[in-house]
Chain A
Amino acid sequence: MSQHITRAEVCVVAVAEAFRDDGEILANPIGTIPMIGGRLARATFAPDLMMTDGEARLIAGDVAVNGGDAWTTEAWNPYRRMFDLVWSGRRHVMMGATQIDRFGNQNIAALGPFDKPNVALLGYRGAPGNTINDKTSYWVPKQSGRVFVEAVDTVCGVGYDRAAALGEHAARFHCLPRVISDLAVFDFESDDHTMRLRSVHPGVTVDDVVAATGFDLVIPDDVPESRLPTADELELIREVIDPEAMREKEVPDPS
């Protein structure tokens, strides 16, 4: 096994860490590296997590992300049941973000005015319901100042400023644990719940992150490096969960 640890593998571990203390809920990471990271968490330090096949099944075991034939279904979870999980507080989703701002407001609906957008995207999807009911983290496979923006054009996923304005009751289930990109890991554990640089991936400087961010980040005096996979984790990633190295296509290694 190669000794060189790729950027994608660091991202996988960062995703896994986001689900570490979630207990027996649905970990619902969306995207290639998020799905690998979620499975890594369950295969190691978060064994009680449940995970989807991307459609209507919850899949047991430590299995390849693309190994559909070998999957064991442990429960049926059609879309209607998904809302039951979300609205009862039993999910931690990791969504994408076309735009995200310093408070964690997220846009996946449209760029420009909503009535007649310059770029129509997906729509609001489940972002309003996810963010007001459950833990919601975000995955950004290619961070830039066009994604990390001063203000998003449409607030689909609710950020901390909007949540605070609703008052303590309305937003009591709102929680954005992490934002993970190809460059770094972020959280909102600052005094005013604005985005804080939590760690930089090996080979990335704080200046690199600042240059790829369109707003003022909270930057601690001492920014650690993102954790590397252990030998056991690396073997799980490479041999069991993602043997076809799909992760390397989503985040190509810079070296």
Chain B
Amino acid sequence: MSRLFPALLWLATGIALAFLLLPVAALFLRVAPADIMGALGSDVARDALVVTLETTLVAQALILLVGTPAAYLIATRRFRGRAVVITLIELPLVLPPAVAGIGLLAAFGRLGLLGSTLDAIGVSIAFTQLAVVLAVAFVAGPFYLRPAIAAFEGVSTDLRDAARTLGAGQWRTFSRVALPLAGGGLAAGAALSFARGIGEFGATIMFAGSLQGVTQTLSLAIYEQFDVDFDTAIAIGVELVAVSALLLLTVKLVPGWRRSTSLFPIGSAPSGSS
């Protein structure tokens, strides 16, 4: 009896691991490396890579630029409705991507809430590269915001107070104390939201469509290619796996970031193995 229980635990772990690794392994085993390189040279794959990098980097820059000060405010001030604000920020995390897509259309589309306003100033967002950026920022933003709030909350109030009594104004307190001390958590959050953004699919296809060279990202290209040319679809898949694995590895290996892994409230954190 005493040996059966651990055996069951090991069995369950083995099944889980095999199940999670099999699809990834299949990607690599199905097509020869040389063919992968060839497929990646195709116009579709190259266009998709460029669109993905452009849109993800712009979206990520927007997330960091707006998200960092917002996270600092939410983490360091006590105001009425703070808990509601945090819950609202978390909402996109649990929102099905298709709902996010239709929501973005309803807000920014031609017939949407802001559609006529945007039309009046000659801006049309839906089905442009800007739409991809918005979709990615909407879906991936909370993946940065939530850990960023936790990271700033982790910086003791005393340290910020100490900085103030030592003559540092609010700006210097933020840049010299809060930012460096929260840096690990912020970087880990950024890596996570980047990973989420690069794989964005549902909201993008609804709000931005899948136009090659304009709005077709790597994920969308896989979806379109798998009817036409299965090997190219697989090659792009391998490319995405490589990028994601690299991100995960970065989060795991940069020492300062590891202690921040507990900052992920949604269980998506890589658990520290040390």
> Do chains A and B stick together as partners?
no
